[in-house]
Amino acid sequence: DEKEKFEPTVFRDTIVQGLNEAGNDLEAIAKFLDAAGSRLDYRRYADTLFDILVAGSMLAPGGTRIDDNDKTKMTSHCVFFADEDHDAIRNYAQVSKG
C-alpha cells in the first residue's frame, strides 16, 4: 500500500499557472478549474485551493503569503485583488462554487 506524496506547492504552481493563463476572463478561469478538477485532487488540497482563490497564493499560519513575491507562485485572479464592489465579489464566488 503506497502512500501518495503530499505536495501542496506543486498543486499551487499548477493552479496559479492555469489561472494566470486564463487571464481576466472569469468564464475561462471557471473552465480551467472545472477541467483541472478531473486530474488534480481538489479534496486533498482543499486548503491550498481556498488560499489561492481567496488570497492569490498559499498562506502560512498567521495569514502571510508563501510566495516570496515570485510572480509565478501567485495570481491576481482572486478575491483579494477583485474590485471592491458587490458584483465583482459575487462573480468570484460563482467561479469558486462552479
Which pLDDT score, from 0 to 100, does residue 96 have?
64
- 49, with CB counted inside 10 A (0-12, 13-18, 19+), is buried
Residue with cell 464592489: 85
Contacts of 30 (CB under 8 A, 6+ apart): 94, 95, 98
Q: Rounded to whole angstroms, how far apart are CA atoms 44 and 54? A: 18
Provide the 10 A C-beta neighbour count for residue 75. Answer: 24
What dihedral angle (degrees, nearest 10) is formed by the CA atoms of 81, 82, 85, 91? -150
Residues 92, 82: contact at Cβ < 8 Å? yes
Residuewise pLDDT in 10s, the chain (98 residues): 566 788 999 999 999 999 999 988 888 999 999 999 989 999 999 999 999 999 999 999 988 888 888 889 999 988 888 888 888 888 877 776 65
Domain boundaries, the chain: 6-91
